[in-house]
């Protein structure tokens, strides 16, 4: 093969890979925002429906929707935030990790902003499946009213199937996500195109003046409508969170080539259709399709909403994994469902939490109209948080002056804050649900972080310096413990202190192994750590060595696999002659000292749901020794 033909083959391969990523991003990244046309315009029209819709109201609403998509999604997320990555990873917690690393300090404002954004995303991951699937199935009522009593049971059955399949892995199913969603966007674009001609004046919505006019003339009803308008950008946070899976270029290309044009055409078509047929405000999305296409579109919409649900569920799994590695949550069981893609994970505890939340939302709200009122707060809240963190990003990472960063982001923050206030008006109509969810999850993360730091500081005060212990052992050979063959690995989070489990082993068993490893596992504020930087070995004495093992917050913390790297560095051991010693703490609440009583209870409960360290760090189960101790907090 000549060099030119080889280069041509590489280019063709690169193009195929880019196309695969582009189509995949349509399904995963834009699945959520692609379901918004099902309900956004319908909900925005509802406050005006009592006296009929007027031309300026429809044009103003459509203009507001299109320019909301343009300013918030195109400018903020697609063009700006996709560049605010942490070694290729995006999302609120990834941005928080990057800012903590760059500022060199643990800033309370950044911490609370980060966990607030994460908590709101979890709330979004509960509401999105319930709202989008119900919205899609409600189209069956237009096929025949006989379907009406079965909408909720069908939605529940779909949710049961969706959450059950998570444990099997979604790699095989996800291959179809992109193509199906591409067809969905094309169907939406077609539905809009065939109706724009119903009233060509709808093209006036492309002028941003009409959006401004609507805001300034709609009065209090306009504030309520703004909450529904913001439903057009639901899923934008998922766009940022999925940056690491597909890369910036495929996500940007998919937006400009397919997603944005399809959404704009569909909203313009819905607006023109309602202007020509005012009675269509009941459900403009489905009614604008020909009768013969209605059932296929309902089926396609249901598939699209299931895909959108899968996207936010996967995002919640990734977020929980990041939170665990960053120390915001206890160690949760994480199962990898793909041998080649580390992004394909399953977190059973999060899966159960989301499933229970979704089912409760479906049956407590009863229809998509009621649930839509609860949706906007979680989305707008998360976006405001991201904008605040983006300000610090511009200052700390890109080294912009504060006044320049404020000039760029303040207009955006004002717009998002107005939308947030508009959604907060609906707190009593169900908007309290995402607020309550966010407060609960934030409290859990804050309590775990605070409790873990307090417990670490408390135990460190009573620990013996490791160098003092080693010197004492080697100096007093007469009273030294009995030497036994093999290697003992003692896991500790404070490497310069003697692990409590080592002291307990000597106290109870009166033995010390020939080789003793003090192993500390670190998690960096970056997604991945190169294998060459995974382990660092320090010889402390003839019988003691220290190993520092480093993982990124997206790496699998497989200690057994990482230990094999030590052999190349000169540390010889046999895994079947190695014992791993872990300390198991039984936490006991103590009134009037330490944490407040209510936080003690939450911290102890969270510690109880954490998985065994041996499973989390992938230690060989038949080589693990656990020694317990009671610790008062």
Q: How confident is the model over 496-545, as pLDDT tens digits?
A: 888 888 888 888 888 888 889 999 998 887 778 888 889 998 888 888 99
At how many degrees (to 10) do helices 92-103 and 291-325 cross?
Answer: 30
**What pLDDT score was predicted for residue 437?**
84
Is the CB of residue 74 less than 8 Å from the CB of residue 299? no
- Taken in order 44, 47, 49, 51, the sign of the CA dihedral is negative
Q: How far is residue 507's CA from residue 70's CA, in Å, rounded to a whole number?
A: 67
pLDDT in tens, 165-203: 887 765 555 667 889 999 999 999 999 999 999 999 999
Task: State the CB neighbour count (10 A cutoff) for residue 457.
Answer: 10
pTM: 0.78
| DSSP code per residue over 466-482 | HHHHHHHHHH-GGGPPE
Q: How far is residue 220's CA from residue 625's CA, in Å, rounded to a whole number?
A: 66
Query: HSE of 516 in the Cβ direction (CA atoms, 13 Å)?
Result: 25
Please name which of 23, 2, 43 lies closest in space to residue 270, comparing C-alpha atoms. 43
Q: Which of 48-52, 119-123, 441-445, 570-574 has the lowest mean pLDDT?
A: 48-52
Strands 544-552 and 578-588, sheet pairing: unpaired
pLDDT in tens, 334-391: 776 655 455 567 888 899 989 998 998 888 888 877 777 667 777 888 888 889 889 9
Is the CB of residue 62 less than 8 Å from the CB of residue 205? yes
The torsion angles phi and psi of 545, rounded to 5 degrees, stand at: -130, 155
The torsion angles phi and psi of 289, rounded to 5 degrees, stand at: -90, 145
**What pLDDT score was predicted for residue 594?**
67
Q: How far is residue 26's CA from residue 23's CA, in Å, rounded to a whole number?
A: 5
User: 543-559 burial, b for 16+ CB within 10 Å, e for fewer?
Assistant: ebbbbebbbbbbbebbb
Is the CB of residue 115 less than 8 Å from the CB of residue 445? yes
Q: How far is residue 506's CA from residue 476's CA, in Å, rounded to a whole number?
A: 14
CA–CA distances in Å: residue 360 to residues 129, 148, 354, 363: 12, 19, 10, 6
Stretch 412-418: mean pLDDT: 89
**What pLDDT score was predicted for residue 214?**
85
Residue ranges covered by each domain of the chain? 21-433, 463-632
Q: How far is CA 440 from the centre of its chain?
A: 17
Q: How far is residue 633's CA from residue 595's CA, in Å, rounded to a whole number?
A: 7
pLDDT in tens, 243-285: 776 778 988 999 999 999 999 999 999 999 999 998 888 889 9
**What pLDDT score was predicted for residue 114?**
84
Is the CB of residue 554 less than 8 Å from the CB of residue 525? no
Please name which of 124, 55, 66 lies closest in space to residue 380, comparing C-alpha atoms. 124
Written as six digits, the tokens of 314 are 């996967």
Q: How far is residue 493's CA from residue 566's CA, in Å, rounded to a whole number?
A: 19
- Helix spans in 207-290 (H): 208-217, 219-229, 236-241, 243-246, 248-254, 260-276, 284-287
Strands 624-632 and 578-588, sheet pairing: parallel
Query: HSE of 53 in the Cβ direction (CA atoms, 13 Å)?
Result: 28
Q: How far is residue 354's CA from residue 357's CA, in Å, rounded to a whole number?
A: 5
The torsion angles phi and psi of 490, rounded to 5 degrees, stand at: -110, 115
Domain covering 21-433, topology: Amino acid/polyamine transporter I (1.20.1740)
Q: Where are the beta strands (DSSP E) in 109-243?
A: none
């Amino acid at each position: 093969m000549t060099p030119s033909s080889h280069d041509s083959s590489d280019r063709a391969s690169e193009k195929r890979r880019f196309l695969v990523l582009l189509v995949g991003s349509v399904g995963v990244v834009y699945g959520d925002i692609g379901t918004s046309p099902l309900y956004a315009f319908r909900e925005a029209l509802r406050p005006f429906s009592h006296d009929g819709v007027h031309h300026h109201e429809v044009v103003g609403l459509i203009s507001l929707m299109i320019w909301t998509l343009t300013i918030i999604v195109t400018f903020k997320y697609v063009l700006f935030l996709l560049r605010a990555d942490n070694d290729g990873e995006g999302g609120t917690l990834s941005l928080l990790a990057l800012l903590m690393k760059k500022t060199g300090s643990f800033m309370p404002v950044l911490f609370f902003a980060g966990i607030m954004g994460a908590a709101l995303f979890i709330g979004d991951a509960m509401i999105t499946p319930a709202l989008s699937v119900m919205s899609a199935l409600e189209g069956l009522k237009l096929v025949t009213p006989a379907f009406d009593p079965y909408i909720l049971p069908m939605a529940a059955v779909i949710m049961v199937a969706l959450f059950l399949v998570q444990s099997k892995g979604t790699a095989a199913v996800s291959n179809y996500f992109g193509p199906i969603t591409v067809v969905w966007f094309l169907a939406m674009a077609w539905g809009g195109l065939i109706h724009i001609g119903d009233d060509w004046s709808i093209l006036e919505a492309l002028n941003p003046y009409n959006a401004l006019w609507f805001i300034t003339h709609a009065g209090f009803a306009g504030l309520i409508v703004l909450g529904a308008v913001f439903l057009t950008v639901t899923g934008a946070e998922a766009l940022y969170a999925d940056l690491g899976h597909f890369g910036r270029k495929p996500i940007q290309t998919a937006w400009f080539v397919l997603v944005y044009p399809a959404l704009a055409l569909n909203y313009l078509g819905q607006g023109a259709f309602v202007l020509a047929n005012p009675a269509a405000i009941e459900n403009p999305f489905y009614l604008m399709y020909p009768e013969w296409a209605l059932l296929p579109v309902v089926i396609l919409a249901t598939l699209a909403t299931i895909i959108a649900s899968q996207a936010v569920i996967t995002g919640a799994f990734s977020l929980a994994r990041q939170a665990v590695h960053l120390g915001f949550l206890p160690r949760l069981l994480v199962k990898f469902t793909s041998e080649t893609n580390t992004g394909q994970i399953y977190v059973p505890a999060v899966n159960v939490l989301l499933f229970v939340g979704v089912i409760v939302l479906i049956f407590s709200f009863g229809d998509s109209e009621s649930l839509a009122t609860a949706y906007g707060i979680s989305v707008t809240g998360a976006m405001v948080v991201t904008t605040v963190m983006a300000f610090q990003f511009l200052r700390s990472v890109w080294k912009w002056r504060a006044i320049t960063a404020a000039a760029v982001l303040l207009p955006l923050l004002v717009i998002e804050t107005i939308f947030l206030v508009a959604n907060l008006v609906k707190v009593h109509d169900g908007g309290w649900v995402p607020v309550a969810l966010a407060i609960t999850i934030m409290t859990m993360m804050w309590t775990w972080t605070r409790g873990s730091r307090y417990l670490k500081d408390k135990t460190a005060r009573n620990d013996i310096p490791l160098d003092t212990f080693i010197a004492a052992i080697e100096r007093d050979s007469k009273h030294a413990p009995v030497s036994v063959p093999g290697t003992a690995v003692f896991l500790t989070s404070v490497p310069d202190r003697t692990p409590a489990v080592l002291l307990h082993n000597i106290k109870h068993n009166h033995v010390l192994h020939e080789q003793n490893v003090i192993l500390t596992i670190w998690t960096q504020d970056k997604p991945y750590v190169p294998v060459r930087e995974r382990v660092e070995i320090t010889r402390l004495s003839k019988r003691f060595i220290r190993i520092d093992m480093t993982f990124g917050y997206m790496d699998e913390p497989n200690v057994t696999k990482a230990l094999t790297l030590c052999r190349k560095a000169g540390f010889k051991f046999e895994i079947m002659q190695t014992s791993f010693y872990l300390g198991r703490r039984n936490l006991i609440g103590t009134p009037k000292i330490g944490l407040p009583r209510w936080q003690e209870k939450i911290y102890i409960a969270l510690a109880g749901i954490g998985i065994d360290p041996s499973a989390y760090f992938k230690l060989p189960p038949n080589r693990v020794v656990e020694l317990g101790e009671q610790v008062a907090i």
